[in-house]
Amino acid sequence: MLVLVAPGQGAQTPGFLTPWLDLPGAEEKLRQWSALIDLDLVRYGTEADEAEIRDTAVAQPLLVASALLSARQLFPSTDDLTAAVGAVAGHSVGELAAAALAGVLTDEEALRLVRTRGLAMAEASAVTKTGMAALLGGNRDTSIAHLERLGLTPANVNGRTQIVAAGTMEQLDALAQDKPEGVRRVVPLKVAGAFHTHHMAPAVDALEAATKELAPRDPALPYVSNSDGQAVATGADVLARLVGQVANPVRWDLCMETFQSLGATAQVELCPGGALTGLAKRDLPGAGTLALKTPDQLDAARALVTEQSSTAG
């Protein structure tokens, strides 16, 4: 069973979309989406520097657009995708791409919504200087308790041995000097704020208002939510979770537990993948993995999809 996942903020790198523009129709599609959300996705994906694409208002639409672009190249039709994929999920902002791939939203609806999300979260981030840092190693329960003593939020619980802390810069500095037992390193992330914490509460209202204009469809295949790792049955519930997730922790560890319970034997991570593939290698033992970073990997991804479909059949 194949799981299709979309990466979250921090996965972007300067110029990562450049090779994708050589594919038939790719640049045209990106320019259509750019006009739709009033953001030059082509320039930001090919020419912008690291500081520009770190901006939350830019990074979030760029990541959703790149995930959708690569997915539509891998699966030429919706029928192809639903026939081959056993479940979809996205990490943090990647959930917007997953919602479109599951048929809850159209690609255009997902991009308009993520544009609102990115702008609102950028505005919330400007109120207080905050950030995020990854804890490498250690024990999940011990680390979470330690973070809470420091006033930090375990904003991303990504696996058995990787947690992302979020809070003020002073709190993160304290963490660097006082690591939880067993944690090897504390690595600052290239994000502009303390996402998935109470610091993002102002963005929740903006996103909720934007969703009132939408008429979501029920997922055409299992959509696994970051909130609790559960497969969500209705489009209305997907939207409600997307809104609430902005100010609440991401439980990717629980998503991977659900992938296992569903019988996942392979995972493809959409462009610009990498981090979720690394987590799967550790926490989904025996499952095949592929991070679809460039078009050169499309043939390998198609071969993995065909292999999984043949095995399932």
CB 7 within 8 Å of CB 270 = yes
Cα separation values, 37 from 98, 104, 212, Å = 19, 19, 18
- Cα atoms found within 13 Å of the Cα of residue 249, Cβ hemisphere only: 20
Q: Supply angle C-alpha 229, 233, 235, rounded to 5.
A: 105
Question: Strand 2-6 to strand 87-90: parallel, antiparallel, or no bridges (unpaired)?
Answer: parallel
Q: Indicate left, alpha or beta for 149 from its phi (over 0: left) and psi (-120 to 50: alpha).
A: alpha
Catalytic residue from among 34, 66, 70, 92: 92
Cα dihedral 106, 108, 112, 114 sign: positive
Q: Which of 89, 93, 37 is nearest to 221 (CA)?
A: 89
Cα radius of gyration rounded to whole Å, the chain: 18
CB 272 within 8 Å of CB 12 = yes
Q: Supply angle C-alpha 152, 153, 157, rounded to 5.
A: 135
CB 103 within 8 Å of CB 217 = yes
Annotation says 92 is catalytic? yes
Q: Peptide bond before 272: cis, by omega within 30 degrees of 0?
A: yes
- The tokens for 140 are 């999940």
Cα dihedral 93, 7, 301, 282 sign: negative
Catalytic residue from among 196, 199, 225, 227: 196
Catalytic residue numbers, as ranges? 92, 196
